[in-house]
Structures are given as structure tokens and as C-alpha cells.
Chains A and B, each alone.
Chain A
Amino acid sequence: MNCLGIESTAHTLGIGITKKEEVVANERSIYKPSPGKGIVPSEAAKHHSKTKKKVLEDALKKANIEKEDLDIVAVASGPGLPPCLLEGVKLAKKLSNQLKIPLVPVNHCIAHIEIGKKDCKSKDPLVQYVSGGNTQIISQSGNLYRIYGETLDIGIGNAFDKFARNLGLQMPGGPKIMQLAKKGENYIPLPYTVKGMDLAFSGLVTEATRKSENAEKEDIAYSFQETALSMLIEVTERALAHTKKEELLLTGGVAANTRLQEMNQLMAKEHQADFYVPKREYCGDNGAMIAYTGYIYREKNQDPKEVDINPTWRPNTYKIPLPK
């Protein structure tokens, strides 16, 4: 059984193909905002529209199959930016109608979790899901993924990008802050906002920007990164102690931050929990995770006419098919 998955929730247009549970293609094209700017949703959507034909062809070629060999089409219908989501859903409906195959709407956050679990052979992890727009501490209980903690304002990746732009750095800002931080030595105190298992980043971005005027770039980047990541690890640790899970899975685009990986590793060790990070290609947004999740959740297929975008879709509302 071949499943094609389409990812277009933000800047990445990704198309992946799975043969049963095995990933056989994972192609993508990434929209790059103009220098000094953040993501412009309509521009990103234009990029997806322009590149989808090529990415689809690449994926089929990579998988070494024809369009007609597809059995299921899956699409990330949320959460994400509406204009971007529309492009993915449009393409999915077209394929589903044309090939007369079922359409499975997939929750983007859950796809990150499912591919992470598969790639790391993790069974029941506490998940730290960190990307541009999302920052959540999630774990399964019963037939739903439950959200134990989350950002109350902006995603951590967005916080890094915003701060980087305020420092005059080009996008993507996260890796640049990380590089600068490596050379920082002096810690400058910054606001640390944690409420129970939730956290917030806006105050930190504002204050770090204000203090950057009288500080070395390296030092303020170091202080910003250490503060933001310490907050994140603290709420994750609280959720780990509270849920008593024995595995910790880091995923999402920000998982590429090596300091974050190191901190998670140290924290997990103290709780005798196993720590996992999926391969880089599965941490960032990708089509393979949508294809894989669409395949394992295939019983959730819907009439294409009823599938719509769901920009604020919370992962804790998407029932997990449990083994019968």
C-alpha cells in the first residue's frame, strides 16, 4: 500500500511517500523570505503553488512509482497558516478525485510525533515539540495526545527568529543565534517566565533586544539562548516528573539546536529516562511524516468534499486509533 503525504503548513512544501510503514521518498522545497523579513503567508503559498508540480514529480521518481500506484493521499490540514494550508489541501483533493483514492487529513503536530516515535523506536514518550510556531509538551494518555505544557504566546523558534531580526541577522535566525551564543561568555540576566508547565517568550525577546544595545552580540545571544532553553527544559522536566514517562522525544525544527539536545540529554539522565532525537530530515517539516501518519491512521479517511483546512487544530482533539 502506497501513501502520499503533503506538508504545506508553513514555509516548507514537502511531499513524501511511504510503502506500508517504510519511507521511500521525502522531497521538499523551502520558501525563503526576503532578507530582514519574516514569513509572509501569501508569499509562502505562492511558492508552494509554483513548486508543487516539481516536488510531486521528484517524490514519485524517488519512490520509483507512477501516480496510479498510489493507494492513499494524506494531507496536513492544520495547524498552520491558512494560505499555505489551502495549497496542500487543494493538491490533495485533486489527487484523491483524479485517482479515486481515499483522503486522510492529518494533524501536523501528531505527524511530527508519529514519525519521531517510528524513527527512534520510542514507544510511549513525553514529547517536546518545538518549532517556529509551536512549543508544546505532549504525551499520550488513553486515545488522545494530551498537552501538558505549552507556550502562552509565541513559539520558541519564532522567538529566536524575532530576536535575530532585531539584532539585524538574516533568516533563519535560530542557527545564527546558536552560533553567536557559542562565543558568548558573560551572562546578562533576562526575564524568565514559567507558569506551572506553561511558558512565555515575548517578554524575553523584548528585554533581550533592549539590553542588546549595550552588550556584545555574542553575550546577549548566549544569555537569550540559555534563558529560553532553560525555561523549556524546566517545564519539560516538570511534565516528566508529573507523568512519570520513561522516554523523552525531542522533535520539530528547533530540535536542530545542539545546545537544546545537550540540555535535554542531561535532564533526561537525571530522571533515568531515555532521550531521543529523530533524524534531521524528520525534525523539520516534511512530507514523509504526513504520509506515514496518513498510512497508520488510514481508517480516518474522509470524503474529499468534507476535508477543509483547520488552522488552529489542537493535537489533543485527534483520536489515536488504538490496537484492537
Chain B
Amino acid sequence: MNVVYRGAEATLYRDKYLGIPVIKKERKPKKYRIREIDDIIRKERIKKEVKMLKKAREVVKTPHTLQVNLKDHSIVMEELEGSTIKKRIEENQENPQKLGREIGKMIRGLHDKNIAHNDLTTSNMIRKGGEIFLIDFGMAEDTHRIENKAMDLLVFKKMLKSTHWKVDREIWENMKKGYRDEKTIKKLKEIEERARYL
């Protein structure tokens, strides 16, 4: 198996499963943290990911899970041939207005299903064909609280500001148009106003 990507959460390998090309996502032990913390986090996140992926699949595009192995903390998923939205924005392959609205609609779908993703970055969004696939549900939570949904948006907004500073406002304004939920946006403003720095 060859390493395709070494992320913060997991390492991805290219593999074959019943003859089809797949990706094995393995949450390897982190050498920097003690075993007790490492065990809790890896176990919790893989369970969460499997559960939330299943729920999320009803409203967003996400790769199919083919096999879950709790022993080595790995998930086998269908392989996604595409590139990250991060890379595509950097290479000017995305229209910020269209992209913003598209992402807004996608997040709204999740939130209506009471899912907060909690790591909404453009590294976790992959364009395949005409559609955006969302990955990495390890930190996601099942929540009806508007506060959690607003925090989810805040993570995305701050990521835009740091990573895509040339087009962050354009994407964000259009994200709001696609998201179309004034109540959550209002809550987000409240959180920002009481935040430490903003």
C-alpha cells in the first residue's frame, strides 16, 4: 500500500478492495501524545466519523464507506478522483461567487440535519465531476444547538480569512446567500462580538 496523503488526522493509502481501487484511511497512533489520550481520541473519532458519515450522506456528497476496522482504527472508502477546493482556489479554477453559494447550500443541508462538521476547511472539500464532496467527519457532532452550528460557520470563516485572503470576502458573502439562515448568521455575529480578539 502506498501513502497518498499524510494529514493531521490520518494517513491515506491507496489499496484494492474486492478488486476496486479504494482509499484506506488509518488513524495511526500519534507518537507525541500519551497512549491514554491517543486511544480515547482515535476510538472516539473513528466511531463518530462512521456514524456521522452515514447521517451526512443523506444530504451531502461524501465517499462511500466500504469497511470499518476498529482494531487498527481504519476506514476503507471509495477512491475520489478529484482535487481539493483549496488547491482549485489557489489555481484560479473556482468561481468564488458560485463556489460560495454552493458551499453555503451544502453546509445548510448539514445543519438542517443537525450535523456540525467542526472542521470545515477547503482541504476537506473535494471537487469531483461537477460536485463537491465533503470528507473528514471525525470531529463532527450530532447537535440541534444553533450555537454549535454558528461555531461551525466561524471555523470556516476564519479559515477563509487566513488561507484564501484574496477571495475570502467574496466567498463568504456568497456562502451566506447559499446558506440562507438568518438566525444562525445572527448567532455567529453574537459569538464574534464576544470573542477574545475579533
For the complex, give the distance between the alpha carbons of A234 and B30 in Å.
10
Chain A residue numbers with a CB within 8 Å of B197 are 150, 312, 314
Say yes or no for B195: interface residue by CB 8 A criterion: yes
Say yes or no for B120: interface residue by CB 8 A criterion: yes
Say yes or no for B155: interface residue by CB 8 A criterion: yes
Q: Please determine whether A146 and B40 come into contact, CB atoms closer than 8 angstroms.
A: no
Say yes or no for B50: interface residue by CB 8 A criterion: no
Q: Please determine whether A271 and B33 come into contact, CB atoms closer than 8 angstroms.
A: no
Chain A residue numbers with a CB within 8 Å of B139 are 194-196
Chain A residue numbers with a CB within 8 Å of B166 are 142
Choose from B8, B120, B151, B165 the contact partner of A240 (Cβ within 8 Å).
B8
Chain B residue numbers with a CB within 8 Å of A146 are 161-163, 165
Q: Please determine whether A230 and B32 come into contact, CB atoms closer than 8 angstroms.
A: yes
Choose from B34, B36, B159 the contact partner of A196 (Cβ within 8 Å).
B159
Selecting from A10-18, A32-40, A262-270, A284-292, the interface stretch reads A262-270
Say yes or no for B130: interface residue by CB 8 A criterion: no
CB-based nearest A residue for B36: A187
Q: Please determine whether A196 and B121 come into contact, CB atoms closer than 8 angstroms.
A: yes
Say yes or no for B66: interface residue by CB 8 A criterion: no
Q: Please determine whether B121 and A142 come into contact, CB atoms closer than 8 angstroms.
A: no
Say yes or no for A153: interface residue by CB 8 A criterion: yes
Chain B residue numbers with a CB within 8 Å of A262 are 32
Say whether, besides A192-B37, A270-B31, A238 and B155 are in contact (CB < 8 Å).
no
Say yes or no for B123: interface residue by CB 8 A criterion: yes
Chain B residue numbers with a CB within 8 Å of A148 are 159, 162-163
Say yes or no for A241: interface residue by CB 8 A criterion: yes
Say yes or no for B6: interface residue by CB 8 A criterion: yes
Say yes or no for B118: interface residue by CB 8 A criterion: yes
Task: Output the residue of A146, A238, A242 with the most chain B CB within 10 A.
Answer: A242
Say yes or no for B158: interface residue by CB 8 A criterion: yes
Say yes or no for B183: interface residue by CB 8 A criterion: no
Number of A-B pairs, beta carbon distance below 8 Å: 91
Q: Mark A232-262, 1 if CB is under 8 A from B, else 0.
A: 0110011011110000000000000000001
Q: How far is the CB of A178 from chain B (nearest CB, A)?
A: 15
Say yes or no for A128: interface residue by CB 8 A criterion: no
Say yes or no for A215: interface residue by CB 8 A criterion: no
Q: How far is the CB of A324 from chain B (nearest CB, A)?
A: 21
Say whether, besides A195-B155, A198-B155, A198-B158, A234 and B8 are in contact (CB < 8 Å).
yes
> Does more than half of chain B's interface fall in helix, strand or loop, or is it mixed?
loop
Q: Please determine whether B196 and A151 come into contact, CB atoms closer than 8 angstroms.
A: yes
Chain A residue numbers with a CB within 8 Å of B161 are 146, 316
Choose from B6, B33, B120, B159 the contact partner of A230 (Cβ within 8 Å).
B33
For the complex, give the distance between the alpha carbons of A187 and B35 in Å.
10
Chain B residue numbers with a CB within 8 Å of A241 are 6-8, 123
Q: Please determine whether A195 and B151 come into contact, CB atoms closer than 8 angstroms.
A: yes
Say yes or no for A204: interface residue by CB 8 A criterion: no
Q: Please determine whether A147 and B162 come into contact, CB atoms closer than 8 angstroms.
A: yes
CB-based nearest A residue for B35: A187
Say whether, besides A198-B155, A314-B197, A263 and B36 are in contact (CB < 8 Å).
no
Q: How far is the CB of B196 from chain A (nearest CB, A)?
A: 7
Q: Please determine whether B32 and A267 come into contact, CB atoms closer than 8 angstroms.
A: yes
Say yes or no for B4: interface residue by CB 8 A criterion: no
For the complex, give the distance between the alpha carbons of A197 and B151 in Å.
12
CB-based nearest B residue for A190: B37
Q: Mark B51-79, 1 if CB is under 8 A from A, else 0.
A: 00000000000000000000000000000
For the complex, give the distance between the alpha carbons of A150 and B163 in Å.
15
Chain A residue numbers with a CB within 8 Å of B15 are none
Say yes or no for A152: interface residue by CB 8 A criterion: yes
Q: Please determine whether A242 and B121 come into contact, CB atoms closer than 8 angstroms.
A: yes
For the complex, give the distance between the alpha carbons of A240 and B8 in Å.
8
Instruction: Offer 29 A-B interface pairs, CB within 8 angstroms, sorted by A.
Output: A146-B165, A147-B158, A148-B163, A152-B195, A152-B196, A192-B37, A192-B40, A192-B41, A195-B118, A196-B139, A196-B155, A196-B158, A197-B158, A197-B159, A226-B37, A230-B34, A233-B33, A240-B8, A242-B8, A242-B159, A242-B163, A263-B32, A263-B33, A264-B32, A266-B32, A267-B32, A270-B6, A312-B197, A314-B197
Q: Please report B residues at the A interface, Cβ cutoff 8 Å.
A: 6-9, 30-34, 36-37, 40-41, 86, 118-121, 123, 139, 151, 155, 158-159, 161-163, 165-166, 195-197
Q: Please report A residues at the B interface, Cβ cutoff 8 Å.
A: 141-142, 144, 146-148, 150-153, 187, 189, 192, 194-198, 226-227, 230, 233-234, 237-238, 240-243, 262-264, 266-267, 270-271, 312, 314, 316
- A-B contacts besides A233-B33, A234-B8, A241-B7, 8 pairs, CB < 8 Å: A142-B165, A142-B166, A196-B120, A233-B32, A237-B8, A240-B8, A263-B32, A267-B30
